[in-house]
Amino acid sequence: MTTENSTTQEPATGKKILLSGSRPTGRQHLGNYVGALAQWLDMQEECECFFMIADWHALTNSYNDTGELPENIRQQMLDWLAVGLDPVKSTIFIQSAIKEHAELNLLLGMFTPLGLAERTTSWKDLVVEQGLDEMRTYGFLGYPVLQSADILMYQAHVVPVGKDQVEHVEKTQDIAQKINVRYGEVFRIPQWRLGRAPVLLGNDGRKMSKSYGNCIYLSDSSKETWDKVRVMVTDPARVTKKDPGDPEKCSVWDYHKVFTPEERHGEIWENCTKAKWGCVECKRVLQEALDRKFEPVRERRAALEAKTGEWHEVLVEGNRKARKRAQKTMEGVREKLHLFPSDGSDGT
Ligand code: TRP
Ligand code: SF4
């Protein structure tokens, strides 16, 4: 039997370690599915996966009112499980349950130049450009440091992310490198990986976002989904059915690319560009594809919701597994950094 490499905890299975996560925003929408969940599901077979709910990161902008956190976490867990994240194959856990993340955040902070933190896009946007004093906090400035702790804690090889998160993984690489140069191979340098899918717009043509109220949720019924798809913004050139359209100017086409079987793409393109059908018919085809894909998810979700405590048990078990790994990493980090060893008495 092979054993794990003590420093980087190389899995005995030879699989690559993957870590990803998202803040608990609540019910997941198709943007979350395409931007993150679909990719996670693909990787679940080939990697040893850690999927994390970043509830501490959520506090960076919601510290004034955390009341919605528990319900958002529950909704997100129901969606994650319903869509197919599998606690048998993967470790699904919540950041705040693993106190080692706070410890590593502190240590990484010692190595993080202020300039590196200040170069974060969200900091520059909200604090520097917009001057939002509410966001001028130590915690928000440290967002990429905490995220680095999340990633390095599990010695992840790969971090699947959306475009906006690439910069965080690059900062993680920089911080880890700085420590490795001084103290030997403390951390594995992680690589980011982008998905191939197009970004889906909300049904009003703007970025899909909970705050715009333009989302199609995984938990929407078939009827709710159709009510949203029906009014989706299309190519404005198609004033009437007789006007030809350009799918590239239409967000419905992006959805087709993701959800409608490829063999129908040619026909959709032709019907649009040659004005052979109306947008409503085109959307019907999309709706069928969405139903086919998500009806089983809706059913699994309803079943999970009926078993009240199940999602919570999954999380407790995932936390246990994650904690074990995190404690092992921190032992190694303390040793390499010549810090006093923890006696492990708090290890649960
Ligand atoms: N910042 C990510 C988001 O906004 C969430 C996140 C926290 C994360 N820690 C992570 C993503 C580590 C990937 C890896 O969704
Ligand atoms: Fe968009 Fe389809 Fe209408 Fe063309 S026919 S503009 S792809 S909805």
Q: What is the DSSP string of 261-319?
A: -GGGHHHHHHHHHTT-S-HHHHHHHHHHHHHHHHHHHHHHHHHHHHSTTHHHHHHHHHH
Specify whether 182 is located in the same domain as 250: no
Specify whether 155 is located in the same domain as 182: yes
pLDDT digits (tens, 9 = 90+) for 276-304: 999 999 999 999 999 999 999 999 999 99
Number of domains in the chain: 2
Domain span holding position 160: 16-199+308-336
For ligand 2, the distance from its centroid to the CA atom of residue 154, given in whole angstroms, is 45
* Cα three-residue angle 189-192-197, rounded to 5 degrees: 170
* Cα three-residue angle 87-156-20, rounded to 5 degrees: 55
Q: Which atom of ligand 1 is nearest to the CA of 36?
A: 15
Specify whether 141 is located in the same domain as 99: yes
pLDDT digits (tens, 9 = 90+) for 93-111: 999 999 999 999 999 999 9
- For residue 3, pLDDT over 60 is answered with no
Q: Of the residues 17, 18, 19, 20, which should be mutated to test ligand 1's pocket, given the most ligand atoms within 8 Å of the CB?
A: 20
Residue 204 lies in a domain: no
Specify whether 169 is located in the same domain as 21: yes
| Confidence (pTM) | 0.93
Specify whether 119 is located in the same domain as 32: yes
Name the closest-CA residue to atom 7, ligand 2: 247
- For residue 5, pLDDT over 50 is answered with no
CATH number assigned to the domain comprising residue 217: 1.10.240.10
Residue 342 lies in a domain: no
CATH number assigned to the domain comprising residue 33: 3.40.50.620
Specify whether 115 is located in the same domain as 169: yes
pLDDT digits (tens, 9 = 90+) for 27-56: 999 999 999 999 999 999 999 999 999 999
